[in-house]
């Protein structure tokens, strides 16, 4: 929907392996930073939407996740709405918070995404992803993935899904092989995306991985599920990100004269569609452009859901940065690298910044906000005015179960 919310402050932890840090400490750090950035007191927050996907499984904290995190930093009384929507949990929380501001229900709303995925038992971490598909059809899904891998000669992808890796890497690997077959996309082009994002991540002090990789480094890394090597797959992680949204009236009171606005946030679920019909991402992007009165040519930068390198390449096509089948040529051109026509994942993306699933969507908003405000440091996009965030979650059939596309302008 078309929005009328203004970002007053943002905050974020470093993403990574925080085995000794709990959900409350991670979430609290991001909340405190966002409120401080907004120049507000905690008492100014009128409502909060808290995104989380896997705390119940990983930590045992069910039912009142947001209330527990917020009470730990002295925020109570207010309505707290817990939002669970797979990897789109945080972007969904932001969508709902912005909608409440737009509707005139509140003047100041907090949106938080927080997640802990690391666990001593890796199978427990990976099982969080197995729950983001139709579990009643899980056996059939796994068999279909294995059969497709065998048919394509993908030896690694034919076993181990959900045990030594997230099963979503097998879903992405299958989509990658199909894209290669249909359009001639190459493994080198996928590797170029990983190398590009590693360069961007090397400039981001909050990124989980800071090492810059070459295309050769990516290609020579261990194979996870053909054609995906390890750097082509997003890692699991722990972390939190938060945004304080305000109404135009409150922004004037705060003296915000050149605001970052949530121009639109579009949320859809997948559906049973025809094989030739465009998917959820295409639908969200089309609506977002219409509601914001913008097009792909107006974008200064994009943060997209690169849970795998092929996912970013396919997102180029859904977002309209290029035509269908031309994602490989686009990354080869350098257009999506810092300094290019429309840099993608200047944060390092999920591949390098990390992917604590319930925090990812708002982490994208933090990056774009700081870019539009000119405070992104070494990775600053010159003259950034418009940013698009693309965040999907879960899988049913051949598409994401949830998809959220948000456009920020300044």
How far from 86 is each of 93, 134, 135, 338, 394, CA to CA, in Å? 12, 12, 14, 29, 5
Q: If residue 117 lies in a helix (H) or strand (E), which one and from where to where?
A: none
Is 346 within 8 Å of 273 (Cβ atoms)?
Answer: no
Point out the residues that are catalytic: 87, 355
What is the spatial distance between Cα 98 and Cα 101, in angstroms, rounded to a whole number?
A: 5
> To the nearest whole percent, how much of the chain has pLDDT over 90?
86
**Pairing, β 260-269 against β 399-409:** antiparallel
Percent of the residues in the chain that have a pLDDT greater than 70, as a whole number = 98
User: d(Cα 120, Cα 365) in Å, to the nearest integer?
Assistant: 30
As beta bridge partners, residue 392 has 403
pLDDT per residue as tens digits for the range 177-188: 999 999 999 999
Q: Residue 130 has what pLDDT?
A: 84
What's the pLDDT tens digit per position in 137-155?
988 888 888 888 787 777 7
In the block, tokens 């997102």 appear at: 315
HEC string of 364-403 equals: HHHHHHHHHCCCCHHHCCCCCCEEEEEEEEEEECCEEEEE
pLDDT digits (tens, 9 = 90+) for 344-395: 999 999 999 999 999 999 999 999 999 999 999 999 999 999 999 999 999 9
Q: What is the mean pLDDT of residues 314-342?
A: 98
Confidence class for position 163, pLDDT limits 50, 70, 90:
low
- For strand 301-303 and strand 386-396, is the pairing parallel, antiparallel, or unpaired? parallel
Chain mean pLDDT for the chain: 95
Q: Is the pLDDT of residue 121 over 90?
A: no
Torsion of CA 116, 119, 124, 128, to 10 degrees: 10
Q: Dihedral angle at the C-alpha atoms of 259, 15, 122, 170, nearest 10 degrees?
A: 50
For residues 336 and 104, what is the distance between their CA atoms, to the nearest angstrom?
37
Mean pLDDT value across residues 63-69: 98
Residue 162 has what pLDDT?
62
Place 122 in a pLDDT band, splitting at 50, 70 and 90.
Answer: confident
Identify the pLDDT of residue 165: 77
- Whose CA is closest to 378, among 205, 211, 213? 205
CA torsion 192-368-389-357 (nearest 10°) is 80
Average pLDDT for 41-48: 98
What is the pLDDT, as a whole number, of residue 128? 82
Least confident interval from 46-55, 114-123, 282-291, 307-316: 114-123
Of the listed ranges 138-152, 293-307, 311-325, the least confidently predicted one is 138-152
Position 184 scores a pLDDT of 98
DSSP sequence for 166-196: -HHHHHHHHHHHHHHHHH---HHHHHHHHHH
Q: What is the pLDDT of residue 164?
A: 66
Burial (Cβ within 10 Å: 0-12, 13-18, ≥19) of residue 377: exposed
Q: What pLDDT, on a 0 to 100 scale, did the predictor assign at position 75?
A: 98
Q: Does the pLDDT at position 157 exceed 70?
A: no
| Of the candidate ranges 15-29, 152-166, 194-208, 274-288, the one whose mean pLDDT is the lowest | 152-166
Residues 6+ apart with CB under 8 A from 142: 161, 162, 167
Give the pLDDT confidence score for residue 156 in this predicted structure: 67
List of domains in the chain: 2-119+237-260 (3.40.47.10), 122-234+264-409 (3.40.47.10)
Using pLDDT thresholds of 50, 70 and 90, give the confidence band for residue 158.
low
Q: Is the pLDDT of residue 252 over 70?
A: yes
Q: Mind listing the pLDDT tens digit for each residue in 92-114?
A: 999 999 999 999 999 999 999 99
Cβ-Cβ contacts under 8 Å for 10 (sequence gap 6 or more): 33, 34, 37, 241, 242, 243, 244, 365, 366, 369, 370
What is the average per-residue pLDDT within 307-315?
98
Residues 6+ apart with CB under 8 A from 327: 179, 183, 185, 189, 313, 314, 316, 317
pLDDT confidence bin for 299, thresholds 50/70/90: very high
- What is the pLDDT, as a whole number, of residue 274? 84
CA 75 vs CA 46, 257, 358: distances in Å: 10, 28, 20
Of 150, 198, 192, 134, which Cα lies nearest the Cα of 394? 134
* pTM of structure: 0.96
C-alpha dihedral sign at 132, 224, 392, 80 = positive
């Amino acid at each position: 929907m078309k929005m009328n919310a203004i970002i007053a402050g943002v905050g974020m932890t470093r993403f990574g392996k925080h085995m000794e840090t709990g959900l409350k400490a991670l979430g609290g750090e991001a909340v405190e930073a966002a409120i401080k950035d907004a120049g507000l007191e905690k008492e100014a927050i009128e409502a909060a939407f808290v995104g989380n996907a896997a705390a119940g499984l990983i930590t045992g904290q069910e039912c009142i996740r947001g209330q527990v995190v917020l009470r730990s930093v002295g925020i109570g009384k207010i309505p707290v709405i817990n939002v669970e929507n797979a990897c789109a949990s945080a972007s969904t929380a932001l969508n709902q918070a912005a909608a409440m501001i737009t509707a005139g229900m509140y003047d100041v709303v907090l949106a938080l995404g927080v997640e802990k995925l690391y666990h001593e038992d890796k199978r427990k971490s990976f099982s969080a992803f197995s729950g983001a598909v139709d579990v009643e059809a899980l056996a059939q899904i796994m068999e279909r993935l294995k059969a497709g891998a065998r048919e394509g000669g993908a030896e690694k992808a034919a076993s181990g899904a959900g045990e030594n890796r997230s099963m979503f890497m097998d879903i992405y690997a299958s989509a990658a092989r199909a894209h290669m077959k249909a359009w001639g996309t190459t493994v080198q082009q996928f590797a170029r995306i990983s190398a590009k994002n590693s360069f961007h991540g090397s400039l981001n002090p909050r990124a989980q991985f800071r090492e810059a990789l070459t295309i050769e480094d990516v290609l020579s890394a261990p194979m996870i599920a053909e054609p995906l090597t390890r750097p082509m797959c997003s890692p699991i992680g722990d972390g939190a990100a938060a945004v304080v949204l305000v109404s135009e009236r409150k922004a004037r009171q705060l003296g915000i004269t050149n605001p970052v606005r949530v121009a639109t946030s579009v949320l859809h679920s997948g559906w049973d569609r025809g094989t030739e019909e465009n998917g959820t991402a295409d639908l969200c992007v089309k609506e977002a452009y219409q509601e914001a009165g913008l097009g792909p040519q107006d974008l200064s930068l994009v943060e997209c859901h690169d849970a795998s390198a092929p996912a970013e390449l396919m997102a180029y096509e859904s977002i309209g940065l290029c035509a269908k089948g031309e994602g490989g040529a686009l990354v080869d051109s350098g257009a999506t690298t810092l300094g290019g026509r429309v840099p993608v994942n200047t944060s390092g993306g999920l591949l390098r910044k990390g992917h604590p699933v319930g925090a990812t969507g708002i982490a994208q908003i933090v990056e774009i906000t700081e870019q539009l405000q000119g405070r992104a440091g070494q990775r600053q996009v010159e003259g950034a005015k418009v940013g698009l965030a693309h965040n999907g979650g879960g899988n049913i059939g051949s598409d994401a179960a949830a998809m959220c596309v948000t456009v920020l302008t300044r």
